[in-house]
Amino acid sequence: MAYIVNRLLSVALTLFLISIITFSITNILPGDVAMMIMGTQSNPEALAALRQSLGLNDPVIVQYGRWIGGVLSGDWGVSLLFREPILPLIAQKMLASGLIVVMSMTIALCLAIPLGVWAARHRDRWQDTTSSTVALLGLSMPDFFIGIMLILLFAASLGWLPSSGFIDPTEDLIGAMRHALMPSLALGLGLMAHLTRMTRSSMMGILSQEFIRVARAKGLPERTVVWRYALPNAIGPVMTVAGLQIGYLFGSIIVIESLFSYTGMGWLTYQALLNRDIPLIQSTVFVIAAVVMLVNLIVDLLYRLIDPRIRLG
């Protein structure tokens, strides 16, 4: 329990620092929020009155206190671009992007773990070379290039999947998954390469240990030795990398969602940056950072369930 409390305090402190950095950076970006709201043709008196009403003339520390207080109380303000409350807007887009992140990670793990185990079992043979080649291809191809190839194959040539668009998962889950499948594949195939290499490396270390040799000496089937004894002991580092890659997914999702015209969190962040929507930029960056840190905390806590020998501390 003490470990969990310490980790939660660490997460809270980190988010506090992130909020300060994000607020500071967005406040030095070029552009006048009042002019963005009223337009460049507005008269100076009206602009001055709006700046006063928005508190833009207050010291930066006062503006930050007002913003972080609103975040903690649930009043995240109104988007300058979309003219609607930020919190429900982010909640909707986060659900859409969350579907892509979950599907991407599922695809990556379902491909990487068997490939990595296969390579480790046949070290320095053609199976290992094949697995390493697949991983190298995944590492060398950018996500957007994989996305373009997927569009040409599954949308333009075969017509199996939609090339763009978005469906709300709360209205039609199957339709939402069809629209999210190609973006998820584009991200998942790239992520699979990293996880395959980590699985191979971790499995090779475990397969060379004494307890594996004892299990084989007892006459246990190789499948049982690998999947029941070796893999549970090797999965910890793979989970660590998978948790850290959540940040990579949210970083790459901006490009992928723009490529597929998928209006999720990445698309929302890009639109906010493109249109200098300062309140929305601050909120999206803060939410993405919070989600990444929360996922990594959950991964740390899951260690104890996977391997009872691990003590949290």
Convert the pLDDT of each residue in 221-277 to its tens digit: 888 888 888 888 888 888 888 887 887 788 788 889 888 888 888 889 888 888 878
Provide the pLDDT for residue 312: 52
Residue 63 sits in the same domain as residue 100: no
Q: What's the average model confidence in pLDDT over 26-34?
A: 68
Phi (first) and psi of residue 276, to 5 degrees: 55, 40
Residue 66 sits in the same domain as residue 181: no
Residue 130 sits in the same domain as residue 48: no
- Summary count for the chain: helices (H), strands (E): 13, 0
Residue 63 sits in the same domain as residue 197: no
Residue 106 sits in the same domain as residue 52: no
Residue 40 sits in the same domain as residue 183: no
Residue 154 sits in the same domain as residue 210: yes
Provide the pLDDT for residue 231: 87
Report residue 222 CA to chain centroid gap: 36
pTM of the complete model? 0.81
**Cβ partners under 8 Å of residue 214, min gap 6:** none
Domain count for the chain: 2
Residue 43 sits in the same domain as residue 118: no
Residue 64 sits in the same domain as residue 199: no
Alpha helices, DSSP H, located in the chain: 2-27, 33-38, 44-54, 60-73, 86-121, 126-140, 143-150, 173-207, 210-217, 222-224, 231-259, 265-274, 278-306
The enclosing domain of 143 has a CATH number of 1.10.3720.10
Chosen domain end from 43, 75, 107: 75
Grouping H, G, I as helix, E, B as strand and the rest as coil, residue 85 is: strand
Range of the domain at 250: 87-306
